[in-house]
Amino acid sequence: MLFPGSVRASGPVPAAPFLARVSALYKVLEAPERYAKRLAPSLARQQEGGDPRPVALPMASAYRLRPELGLIATVLPGLLNFALEKWDNSS
């Protein structure tokens, strides 16, 4: 029996988008300095332009991930927010 308002999958769920994100994450973890250097100019432009500080929200369901991904998903938002604390949001 289906309850009113409940959602049911109507076919196979595509795994390709999720696997592409996981693959991209592993690439960043293999060479974090390289990706940090690529991201730094963009963040500097945003900060100089008066954009609000980026916020990394915690993942709600990290327990569903493999342990190593769950650990990263749990810790990374806090590390990013700490690294961006010096961003001036008063303008």
> Could you tell me the residue ranges of all domains in the chain?
25-54, 55-86
Which amino acid, residue 61?
Answer: S
Cα separation, 47 vs 53, whole angstroms = 7
> The pTM is what?
0.58
Considering only CA atoms, which of 77, 57, 68, 75 is closest in space to residue 22? Answer: 68
CB 39 within 8 A of CB 83: no
pLDDT band at 6 (very low <50, low <70, confident <90, very high): low
Q: Give the angle subtended at the CA of 29 by the CAs of 24 and 35, to the nearest 5°.
A: 75
Residues 49-67 have pLDDT tens digits of 999 999 888 877 777 777 8
CB 73 within 8 A of CB 62: yes
Cα separation, 21 vs 27, whole angstroms = 10
Proportion of the chain above pLDDT 90, given as a percent = 29
Residues 32-47 have pLDDT tens digits of 999 999 999 999 999 9
